[in-house]
Structure 1
Amino acid sequence: MEGFCGNALVAGREQHAYYDIVGSLPLELVVSVVEYLDETDIVRSRRVSKRWRTIFSCDTITKSVLPRTLAALGMETADVRITNATTYIQWLHNLRTARPVKKVFLPWPEDVISLGKPRNIGCNSRRLCYIIPERGRDKVAMLDLETGRRSTWINDTRRPIEDIRLSDRYLFMITQDSIISAVDIHTPQRWVGKQFPWPTYRVRITIEKDKLVILPFSIDEAFPLWMWDLRSDRVQTIGSFISKDLDFWHVDADENVLITFEVNWDEHPLLVHQTRWTLTRGEVLDRKIFRLSLGGRRVSRRDIFLKSHHNFGRTTEARVRLKGCHTTIFLIYDHAIQRLSLRWFDSTEPITDRAGQPGGGPCLAPLLKYGWMSEHKGIAVWNAATGTTTLHGYQLDFREVSAHKRLAAPLPPPSSDVWARRFAAFFMDSCLSPFGDHEVFGMASDDGIQLWFFNPNFVPDLPFAEPFLAMQESG
């Protein structure tokens, strides 16, 4: 048998110079192997040869890979055809490796930049919006990346806008004195700003279709969840919670339910209180208490530094960052199967926000976060799905002059004055603001916006966008 195998190998080498073991395997075995590969392995395998490209593009293989690819992108599977599976696999690969299909630079309009750098840049559903500071009355501008159309709304409350949120259909403006205004971005309809009875504008918000769920930040004072239904323009209160005790919630607008999760972090295994509410009346449908294993580790409430949660279709993901900012616990609720799971992520670099504050930055997809690392002057990609952290050097466009000047200044050495180093880091971080979603990532500076497009099927030609040219190449 050994001689036979050796002769077969020699014969193969004489005829083809190599033996393609994958190409000779039955398709059923190749499919079994593919189940252990991620999207990067599949993309690279398709580049090996024409034979491998045909094998790794066949419907049998892509059908087995597509569901987990869409789940990793935070997308539903209903409207995606198998014939487009390779596009989504490539898309996920681009996103996880920070390799955009296209880069462009959008300079700020002259009338905008004269008022100062826009703030609170956000992106959702192929649109980006930002606040234009203007004395006495802030404005909110929105750019449709598909059509290139610009829209502007004036803040009628005459109070400074503290935050903006954008969904598929609505733009929300949060001002001081706890006033939230809503605008339908597809029609001229605009809702009068509603004032919510809490003492601070800092709130946790979830937007799901035409439902807005709000809870103010609090340490020891209990507030209800407020649910603003824009379809009926009605506000409903649900339950009573202290913000630090309510870890996250999930909204399903189609089923008209809200699921809240309160976790006792001092119990081992974790003790989870899960409650289902109706959105229309705020009534309790059912409650259950169960245990959730920490996988052999231990944590207490004192170890928690920051909590946040993000919605991705029928999945909601809560991120609990521990002190030191190297470790994050992911609580993932899949409403399709009504299951809560837990995942640990240990990063070699601390997961930080701008100005060195842990927690912010765009969460582009489930278990995936982009962030700006001032000390390394690059983009960090934290991938909890693979447990890896990668750093990509940021290439400035040759028009990002002010950002280049700030980044050229070196940070003080770690042994020098701590406050001087923090101020220098803040100065660097303030020159670039990251934002984005699973299709588009952007870095905004005083000069404009650098946009990265990841979806191979969405590479728009904006009429006022400048082709990207790296500053190093421009001289």
Structure 2
Amino acid sequence: MKYYDVVSSLPLELLVQVVKYLDLKDIVHFQRVSKRWRTIFTCDVTIMPVLRETLSYLGLDQKGVTTDMAMADAMSYFRWRYGLQHARPVKKVFVPWKESWFLPPLHVLCYSRRLCYVRPNSNDVCMLDLETGEKSVWSGGQRRSDILTGDVCGLSLSDRYVVIVTSGDSGSGLLHLTAWDMHAKKKLSRQIALYPAVYTIVENKMVIAPEFMSDAFPVFVWDLSLNHFLEISSFSNLTLHHVDVPGNLLVLFEINWEKQPPEVHQTKWTMTTGQLREKKNFYLEMPPGCDKYQPKFDNEPCCTFGHKTVVQVYSEANPSTTIHLEYDNDTDRLTVRWIRSSLPRESKGKWSIYLAPYLTYRFTYETALPAVYDAVGGIATRGSVSRAPKFNSAFGDREVFGLGGDDGVQLWFFNPNFVPSFPEESMDFRGLEDRVSVDSDSVDADSIDEENSSDEDSVDEYPADDDSVEE
């Protein structure tokens, strides 16, 4: 009995529309059906739209994407996205702390392929470049008679700057900010009044914004390239802020969640002079079923990806719904996405890590498993990796995610093109190669075999999901 190949007979215009509804894993599977299907599902007409959508999902620049891009390069981005969505890294590495330490390091961060942490019993920040293996130490805090005053209570990192926040003397009511230009080896210092704040760096601008609360607190902008420090104004119910460095604008959103629909007060400020450039009020368009939504914040900063800034909020009264707010500076529009979840809301030790514009990992002490919040799919699922070790911090970006524990730090590498081999000794770490472990559930980074056809057994480039998906 002969079967008619309907797919091969479809015009490319229709195939492009079909591919839009396919999962990345399905595309890989279809490439293995036959040589004809492989040609269809690897041509530029069908793959380029999916590739651009994947790059947007990852928050990557699409300017360099051309039709000349090799299929192997495109598939690496697909694997990258799939691994993030299912919490399946290409490789998992455990890096032990130094044996002489009695306490684990605090404020562990990983950004732009740099791993840094605050050394125990000091205000020094140790940094390891995961790409080159270069080690460096950056001092923070204030010294008086060679005695450190205050503890590190905050740490921010960008491509060029590292900022260390330390508390002042007992009763002083001050915070000390120490900024290092890692390229020029230049140190800057500032002091501000102590208040609940979050710290974010976008290029050469650091924004110090109050945690979400009804009381009014100031917003500061620190130009790290000019050492210019400016207080903008005081704000309450500040939910999201966006830093537009090329436009020299700070966009702030104060949202009154007690009103239904929520009332938004948007203002734009010049970051060099503090001048109010624009203001407007509008009501937030909430998805159906999200009326009377009273959010609860975890006091975590919003995250900027190019011209977009995102933040997620949830309600204890409605634990099955998470609101994903996204501001697009190019269109000057604040939009809302609704993420549905049946996952329980644990109460202790929460971390929300924004790995991509539409993807957030939530970790808690109780589960030690990642809850993956996907704003595009609108669902939250439990990650299908083995249970993580006991940890006290979570951190990372779209390339490297990490869990800091009492014994060391576990790093998850998601970018198939960036899986570094560690040196035998890095900074204060012990030897690493004997402790490197590759997870059996990791994504296969091998390229697709060009000779596969329909007569051969299908090889799954993506691992099957072992755990059931919770919606």
Of 100-109 and 122-131, more deviation after overlay is shown by 100-109
Matched, 1:62 2:47: yes
C-alpha distance in 2 between matches for 1:310 and 1:299: 25
Aligned to 1:367: 358
Offset at residue 47 of structure 1 (A): 4.5
Aligned to 2:419: 459
C-alpha distance in 2 between matches for 1:393 and 1:62: 27
| Residues 366 and 119 of structure 1: CA distance in aligned 2, closer, same or farther (over 3 Å) | same
Offset at residue 303 of structure 1 (A): 4.8
Mark the runs of 5 or more structure 1 residues left unpaired by the alignment.
1-9, 13-18, 398-402, 404-427
Of 125-134 and 268-277, more deviation after overlay is shown by 268-277
Could you state the TM-score of these two structures normalised by the residue count of structure 2?
A: 0.80
Matched, 1:318 2:318: no
Counterpart contact for 1:46–1:52, Cα < 8 Å: yes
- CA displacement 1:131-177 (0-9 Å, x = unmatched): 1112xx32211111101122112224122111211111111111113
- SS of the residue corresponding to residue 278 of structure 2 reads strand
Letter in 2 for 1:436: G
Letter in 1 for 2:13: E
Counterpart contact for 1:43–1:93, Cα < 8 Å: no
- CA displacement 1:249-269 (0-9 Å, x = unmatched): 111101111111122223333
Offset at residue 232 of structure 1 (A): 0.9
Aligned length in residues: 414
Aligned to 1:78: 63
C-alpha distance in 1 between matches for 2:329 and 2:25: 28
Match of 2:184 among 171, 187, 191: 187
- SS of the residue corresponding to residue 354 of structure 2 reads coil
Match of 2:197 among 198, 203, 207: 203
Offset at residue 107 of structure 1 (A): 2.2
Matched, 1:11 2:2: yes
Match of 2:399 among 439, 456, 475: 439
Matches within 5 A, 1:133-172: 133-134=120-121, 137-157=122-142, 158=148, 159-172=150-163
Aligned to 1:379: 370
Aligned to 1:87: 76
Offset at residue 208 of structure 1 (A): 0.8
Counterpart contact for 2:343–2:381, Cα < 8 Å: no
Aligned to 1:231: 225
C-alpha distance in 2 between matches for 1:151 and 1:55: 50
Aligned to 2:254: 262
Counterpart contact for 1:266–1:299, Cα < 8 Å: no
Matched, 1:468 2:431: no
- SS of the residue corresponding to residue 159 of structure 2 reads coil
Aligned to 1:420: none
Of 204-213 and 69-78, more deviation after overlay is shown by 69-78
Higher helix share: 1
Counterpart contact for 1:321–1:327, Cα < 8 Å: yes
- SS of the residue corresponding to residue 70 of structure 1 reads helix
How much is the aligned-residue C-alpha RMSD, in angstroms? 2.6
Aligned to 1:331: 325
- SS of the residue corresponding to residue 66 of structure 1 reads helix
Match of 1:114 among 89, 101, 106: 101
C-alpha distance in 2 between matches for 1:390 and 1:109: 35
| Residues 126 and 53 of structure 1: CA distance in aligned 2, closer, same or farther (over 3 Å) | farther
Offset at residue 393 of structure 1 (A): 5.7
Counterpart contact for 1:307–1:321, Cα < 8 Å: no
Identity percentage of aligned residues: 41
- SS of the residue corresponding to residue 2 of structure 2 reads helix
Aligned to 1:102: 91
Offset at residue 226 of structure 1 (A): 0.6
Aligned to 1:126: 113
Letter in 2 for 1:59: D
Counterpart contact for 2:133–2:422, Cα < 8 Å: yes
C-alpha distance in 2 between matches for 1:87 and 1:469: 18
Aligned to 1:414: none
| Residues 160 and 81 of structure 1: CA distance in aligned 2, closer, same or farther (over 3 Å) | farther
| Residues 469 and 440 of structure 1: CA distance in aligned 2, closer, same or farther (over 3 Å) | closer
Greater RCO, CA 8 A, separation 6+: 2
Offset at residue 221 of structure 1 (A): 4.2
Counterpart contact for 1:306–1:322, Cα < 8 Å: no
C-alpha distance in 2 between matches for 1:295 and 1:469: 42
Match of 2:275 among 264, 283, 306: 283
Offset at residue 222 of structure 1 (A): 2.6
Letter in 2 for 1:292: L
Counterpart contact for 2:270–2:276, Cα < 8 Å: yes
Could you state the TM-score of these two structures normalised by the residue count of structure 1?
A: 0.80
Mark the runs of 5 or more structure 2 residues left unpaired by the alignment.
143-147, 168-173, 425-431, 442-471
C-alpha distance in 1 between matches for 2:158 and 2:106: 18
- CA displacement 1:406-432 (0-9 Å, x = unmatched): xxxxxxxxxxxxxxxxxxxxxx5xx35
Counterpart contact for 2:88–2:385, Cα < 8 Å: no
Aligned to 1:273: 265
Letter in 2 for 1:231: S
Counterpart contact for 1:39–1:69, Cα < 8 Å: no
Aligned to 1:22: 7
Letter in 1 for 2:417: N
Counterpart contact for 2:109–2:117, Cα < 8 Å: yes
Offset at residue 394 of structure 1 (A): 4.9
Counterpart contact for 1:118–1:132, Cα < 8 Å: yes
- CA displacement 1:291-312 (0-9 Å, x = unmatched): 3221233444755354642211
Matches within 5 A, 1:387-406: 387-392=378-383, 394-395=385-386, 403=389
| Residues 240 and 303 of structure 1: CA distance in aligned 2, closer, same or farther (over 3 Å) | closer
C-alpha distance in 1 between matches for 2:400 and 2:36: 33
C-alpha distance in 2 between matches for 1:395 and 1:298: 34
C-alpha distance in 2 between matches for 1:52 and 1:442: 39
